Amino acid sequence: MTVAFTPPFVQPEHAAAHLRERGHVVLSPGGLAAAVGAEGDPLAGMRPFWDDLPEDEHLLDVGRYRFRRHGSFVVERGEVRAVPHRAHWQPLEYNALHGGIERWFAPLSDALVALPAWNRLLVGLTELADAIEPGDAPWSVEAHAFRITTAGGIGRPTPEGAHRDGVDLVAVLLVDREGVLGGETRVFDAAGPNGQRFTMTEPGTALVVDDRRAIHETTPIRQLAPDVEGRRDTLVVTWRRGGFQEP
């Protein structure tokens, strides 16, 4: 029997205070829309782009269940600027499985990042980052479009396990979810035993984590029906002051 705990949603007007107090905050689909100033579902026009994600060729667990694209941006004073395509890199201390190597992923679609909704989403979420970490330096922002499938029977959203990303803030947005069980989100205090567990089932649900204070993970997914492959689509966005992580 699989038990799914309801996400502990916080009203958007209290998101910054909750994030400062607890180290993480969860927004409902409506809360996310309000937080970024969108009318209706801010992810609606983006979902078709998740059907065009190439396979992640860097998985060191030899799995073939993860598909992804990656993009890098500088966000400053309400403006989003794409930077030349670059490798994603993390030190081993933050990613014991894939750290220490340059991972080149296919770039995000030009059509996706040209959407007004994309710009609105990044600007709106960056306002939350500014409320937590004020500063004059622009934000170095990375965006990862993920599809995790149950190919082979199971899919692992975070094969590296519970982790930090080596940035200031991390947002995990559920883009879609179909035909899967599991995928429980877990957030823990990095310096203590306290934690929270819940399952993001409604597209548009968003988790924002202060990466300096908390570690997070998502448990594996398996297919709901024996002969029907399931999937879990997410958009993961990270913010870091002072430049991107580099080797």
The tens digit of pLDDT for each residue in 135-158 reads 999 999 999 999 999 988 899 999
Rounded Cα distance between 160 and 95, Å, is 6
Q: What residues pair up with 7 in beta bridges, in sequence order?
A: none
Give the pTM: 0.96
Q: So what's the pLDDT on residue 99?
A: 65
The span from the CA of 147 to the CA of 228, in Å, is 16
Structure tokens at 58: 């860097």
Distance, in Å, from the CA atom of 96 to the CA atom of 196, rounded to the nearest integer, reads 23
**Residue 2 confidence (pLDDT):** 63
Angle (CA) 238 197 141, round 5°? 5
Q: Give Cα 44 to chain centroid, integer Å.
A: 17
Please write the tens of the pLDDT for every residue from 37-64.
Answer: 999 999 999 999 999 999 998 887 767 8
Give the residue carrying structure tokens 């750290």: 99
Identify residue 49 by its one-letter amino acid code.
F
